[in-house]
Amino acid sequence: MGDEKRDLLNSSRASNPSALGLEDLNLEEEASSSTQHEDQTLPVYTPQYSPQRQWPMPLNIVIQVVGSRGDVQPFLALASVLQKSGHRVRIATHPQFSSFVLNSNNPSASTNKLEFFPVGGDPADLMAYMVESPSLIPKMSQIRAGIIQRKRDMYIEMLDGFWRSCIHPDPLSNIPFVADAIIANPPSFAHVHCAQSLGIPVHLMFTMPWTSTKAFPHPLANIGFSKADKTSTNHASYAAVEFLTWQGLGDLVNAWRVQSLGLEPVPSTEGHRILESLEVPFTYCWSPSLVPKPSDWGPHINISGFFFRDPAPYAPPPDLEAFLKAGPPPIYVGFGSIVVGGIEGLMTMVLSAIKATGVRAIISRGWSNLAGEESPDVFYVGDCPHEWLFQQVAAVIHHGGAGTTACGLRYGKPTTIVPFFGDQPFWGAVVAEAGAGPDPIPYRSLTSQKLIHAIQYCLSADAVTAARQLAESMQRENGVQAAVDAFHANLPRDKMACDFFPDQPAALVYGRGKKQVKMCRPVASILVKNGKVERKQIKSYRSKPINIENQRWDPLTAVSAASLSTIVKMAGATADIIVKPFEEYKRSSESAENLEEQVEKTRRHSQAPAFAMLPLPGVGVPDGAEQSPSGTRPPSSRGGEESSGKPGAMAAAAVNGVGKLAGNATKGLLVDIPLAVTEGLRAVPHLYGEEVQKHDAVEGFRSGVSVAGKTFCHDMKGGFTDIFIHTYTGKKEQGAVGAAKGLGKGVVSLVTKSTAATFGLVSYPAQGIYRSIWAASNADMRRSIVDEKLLEGDWMVSMSPTWKMDHAAIAEDFEGVRGMRGR
């Protein structure tokens, strides 16, 4: 690095990228001279999955997104390629983006248009909150002001909205829709839970790291200097972020799972590690030339490249076109969807730096509506596509959103990032590490002097060369297609196919086990309408079952955790016996007061004539209501209802608390603790480096008995054979000492495995009974999913000539398939 560049960087640095752990990205070190950037060899891009331009099975795909417009935009590009693969796609996100999503459709397209489903939530409110409180721990002032509770209420609304986006018809056309697969960004939170309820694949895609790695910390962890081993700190930061997030939202998610999805609550020890324990497929949509895939990420994780959509035709307004022609290329300054407080101070610094460096500038107003002193060298622009605008400028200064960063680098523009929160500091450090810009300048430490040095560096030959090299490398990537290929590669294709038409996804199933017959929606609709099967005989097909279980590490912690959980639940239920009746009493009193106020308000503001207040039959009072001389219900009557209703509600609340206490005690003693003993003992071989065979999921009584029998045979056999195997292996490796060690290990294995096998004969069937009862209590919700799928099948049959075929042939095929599988 040249001395001049080093001076510029040293004076503009606001943070050290190595403090973010970015030296572990395996990116090239900064060259010692400006010419070394030209010799730097960027990683060669190699797609992880083979391209498949046409997927043979059309799916209903819902893409769930939380965030700003910049978070939504990449998924529009993804949706377009998915549609070209034959899929029906809907974007589920905030209602503010409905026009943005729907207007992305090709006006000439008459079928298979991108759909939009509103899920609630206010992105501007979310952005303002994140700017004000970029850390994961809220401020006390925000808690006192009720801001945190409002955010929780917003997430409740969005969780419900995301579930509806999976099973509700299109809001505009009313065409039925039930998702076959889910794509989501991690902050939407509903993804894996909706997928579990429907039994369908889920694939996460995001522009910032969300998977544990030693290479760099979680961008939200805000890790600075640490005396601990950096790789360990980096890895631990992901668990810390997920843990804190789950602590803030876990109770909402579990309540929603029970009430809306009919699922059991997620165990408290599993909530923060669901994605990694389930190995949910992940695609990170950034350039591998910029951030290569860390070596400790598994094969289910892919880095595809940035998502770029085809730029739409754009004609700039005459005043913008005139400004661009009036002088040399300007720089761009904008903060997108960030809602900034103290705009005057920010604009003073920006305009001062522009004047001091003698550059021309285009300033994007953004959501903060940036404005300042008029100048012939400054142009304020409203909504203008970055794909066009960034090709007209010399350098870009922005907040560091992944989409904006990608667009600037795509066109080879040196980049200065002024991060506010989230992944923005991460991208600022990555860009600086690549030499395409100075170190990021955090918004709260921004000064005009730092901005001056940043602009000077962006206009230097070093920065221009580095940015152009990145652009050339990114041109060889096709991030959207690579992401679609990764999505297809992780689908359970064989399990998704209909038994009648393999090019159609199975949605419903007749029978069970090896005798089950998988049917696509139209086939199921035809069979039901022709009386070959009854609706009650059909169940929703689960192509990708998801089971969230408590992971046990040893018998001691397993039993301790299960016992503590049971005690806490029983204590909560005991408290409800006292607290809930009081809450009912308070609620009833408040309702009565509100009712009296409403009645009085109605009486005062009534426009009815005077005779309506007289005790005339049928005039001025509801039908069937008693009248008093004043024409209103007698106070004694209302008071009688209150006196009878209030004790009843209080008694019902107390009985409910007693029921919860009994239920928690029974489940804890008969299911949770015995199961913890079983799983804890089965996990003991992990402690000395052996693999533990996983058993099938327990979904009901039958599967519980099956798992109990299989694990009993396997563990009993393993316990007795381990004595001989470990003794022999130990003697072979270490002689007599090894034989003694092996014998000891074998005895431990015999005791733990035989005990686990014995406990399993009780615990697994008990777990199966509990889950059978749970499933029966939520049968209505399961039936509603079947009804929605059959409704979609009816629509498909009515609309497509393909399905207006000889229904008798389908019925005959059904009899044949059912006969082959033993009915």
Q: Is residue 301 located within the same domain as residue 323? A: no
Nearest to 491 by CA among 200, 91, 297: 200
Proportion of the chain above pLDDT 90, given as a percent: 46
Nearest to 568 by CA among 269, 781, 782, 175: 269
At residue 422, what are phi and psi to the nearest 5 degrees?
Answer: 65, -135
Residue 666 lies in a domain: no
In DSSP notation, 767-809 reads HHHHHHHHHHHTHHHHHHHHHHHHHHHHHHHHH-GGGSS-HHH
Q: What is the DSSP letter of 299?
A: T
Q: What is the rounded distance in angstroms from the CA atom of residue 654 to the CA atom of residue 639?
A: 23
Q: What is the DSSP letter of 200?
A: -
Length of the chain in terms of residues written: 823
Tens of pLDDT, residue by residue over 11-32, are: 443 334 343 444 444 333 333 3
Nearest to 270 by CA among 657, 544, 667, 679: 679
Q: What is the rounded distance in angstroms from the CA atom of residue 414 to the CA atom of residue 4?
A: 17
Q: Is residue 8 located within the same domain as residue 98? A: no
Q: Is residue 374 located within the same domain as residue 475? A: yes
What confidence score (pLDDT) does residue 53 get? 54
Q: What is the rounded distance in angstroms from the CA atom of residue 793 to the CA atom of residue 787?
A: 10
Q: What is the rounded distance in angstroms from the CA atom of residue 28 to the CA atom of residue 279?
A: 31
Q: What is the rounded distance in angstroms from the CA atom of residue 468 to the CA atom of residue 285?
A: 20
Q: Is 691 helix (H, G, I), strand (E, B) or coil?
A: coil
At residue 639, what are phi and psi to the nearest 5 degrees?
Answer: -65, -35
In DSSP notation, 71-89 reads HHHHHHHHHHHHHHTT-EE
* Exposed/middle/buried for residue 658 (C-beta within 10 Å: 0-12, 13-18, 19+): middle
Q: What is the rounded distance in angstroms from the CA atom of residue 653 to the CA atom of residue 576?
A: 8
Whether the Cβ atoms of residue 229 and residue 315 lie closer than 8 Å to each other: no
Where would I find the beta strands (DSSP E) of 423-513? 508-510
Q: What is the rounded distance in angstroms from the CA atom of residue 352 to the CA atom of residue 446?
A: 12
Q: Is residue 406 located within the same domain as residue 473? A: yes
Q: Is residue 403 located within the same domain as residue 445? A: yes
- Residue holding tokens 């795509």? 410
Asked which of 431, 448, 483 is the last residue of a domain, the reply is 483
* Exposed/middle/buried for residue 170 (C-beta within 10 Å: 0-12, 13-18, 19+): middle
Q: What is the rounded distance in angstroms from the CA atom of residue 81 to the CA atom of residue 87?
A: 9
Q: For residue 439, what are the contacts with CB-CB under 8 A and spacing of at least 6?
A: 9, 12, 13, 14, 15, 16, 17, 428, 429, 432
CATH code, 435:
3.40.50.2000
Q: For residue 680, what are the contacts with CB-CB under 8 A and spacing of at least 6?
A: 552, 553, 554, 555, 556, 557, 558, 559
Q: Is residue 459 located within the same domain as residue 474? A: yes
Q: Is residue 12 located within the same domain as residue 91? A: no
Where would I find the beta strands (DSSP E) of 630-699? none
Tens of pLDDT, residue by residue over 673-708, are: 999 999 999 999 888 778 888 888 999 999 999 999
Q: Could you write out the three-class secondary structure of 342-372? A: CHHHHHHHHHHHHHHHCCCEEEECCCCCCCC
Q: For residue 408, what are the contacts with CB-CB under 8 A and spacing of at least 6?
A: 386, 390, 396, 398, 415
Residue 613 lies in a domain: no
What confidence score (pLDDT) does residue 614 get? 32
Q: What's the Rg (C-alpha) of the chain? A: 32
Residue 20 lies in a domain: yes
Q: What is the DSSP letter of 670?
A: I
What confidence score (pLDDT) does residue 759 get? 93
Domain total for the chain? 3
Whether the Cβ atoms of residue 123 and residue 94 lie closer than 8 Å to each other: yes
Q: What is the rounded distance in angstroms from the CA atom of residue 624 to the CA atom of residue 253?
A: 45
Whether the Cβ atoms of residue 245 and residue 218 lie closer than 8 Å to each other: no
What confidence score (pLDDT) does residue 579 get? 83
Q: Is residue 416 located within the same domain as residue 342? A: yes
Q: Is residue 350 located within the same domain as residue 202? A: no
- Relative to beta strand 301-303, strand 538-540 is unpaired
Which tokens hold the place of 794? 């009816």
At residue 397, what are phi and psi to the nearest 5 degrees?
Answer: -125, 120
Q: What is the rounded distance in angstroms from the CA atom of residue 574 to the CA atom of residue 661?
A: 6
Q: How many CB atoms lie within 10 A of CB 660?
A: 18
Q: What is the rounded distance in angstroms from the CA atom of residue 52 to the CA atom of residue 72?
A: 25
Whether the Cβ atoms of residue 675 and residue 763 lie closer than 8 Å to each other: yes
Residue 85 lies in a domain: yes
Whether the Cβ atoms of residue 700 and residue 768 lie closer than 8 Å to each other: yes
At residue 470, what are phi and psi to the nearest 5 degrees?
Answer: -60, -45
Q: Is residue 21 located within the same domain as residue 97? A: no
Whether the Cβ atoms of residue 484 and residue 75 lie closer than 8 Å to each other: no
Whether the Cβ atoms of residue 495 and residue 543 lie closer than 8 Å to each other: yes
Whether the Cβ atoms of residue 290 and residue 272 lie closer than 8 Å to each other: no
Residue 589 lies in a domain: yes
Tens of pLDDT, residue by residue over 455-489, are: 999 999 999 999 999 999 999 999 999 999 999 99
Q: Is residue 431 located within the same domain as residue 284? A: no
The angle subtended at Cα 739 by Cα 736 and Cα 742, nearest 5°, is 155
Whether the Cβ atoms of residue 186 and residue 65 lie closer than 8 Å to each other: no
Q: Is residue 464 located within the same domain as residue 561? A: no
Q: Is 132 helix (H, G, I), strand (E, B) or coil?
A: helix
What range does the domain containing 197 cover? 60-211+273-309
The angle subtended at Cα 666 by Cα 192 and Cα 575, nearest 5°, is 85
Whether the Cβ atoms of residue 26 and residue 434 lie closer than 8 Å to each other: no
Q: What is the rounded distance in angstroms from the CA atom of residue 722 to the CA atom of residue 684?
A: 13
pTM surpassing 0.75? yes
Which tokens hold the place of 552? 């046990």
Where would I find the beta strands (DSSP E) of 538-606? 538-540
Residue 93 lies in a domain: yes
* Exposed/middle/buried for residue 512 (C-beta within 10 Å: 0-12, 13-18, 19+): exposed
Whether the Cβ atoms of residue 218 and residue 237 lie closer than 8 Å to each other: yes
Q: What is the rounded distance in angstroms from the CA atom of residue 291 to the CA atom of residue 296?
A: 14
Asked which of 309, 336, 358 is the last residue of a domain, the reply is 309
The series of mean pLDDT values per 10 residues for the chain, 823 residues long, is: 42 40 40 38 51 77 92 93 94 95 80 92 72 59 70 91 97 96 95 97 95 90 58 87 89 94 91 92 94 93 91 86 93 78 77 92 79 83 87 93 91 93 88 94 89 95 95 92 95 92 94 84 92 91 92 89 89 86 75 55 40 32 37 42 63 83 89 92 86 88 93 91 87 87 88 92 94 91 94 91 76 74 59
Whether the Cβ atoms of residue 97 and residue 71 lie closer than 8 Å to each other: no
- Residue holding tokens 């990683």? 43
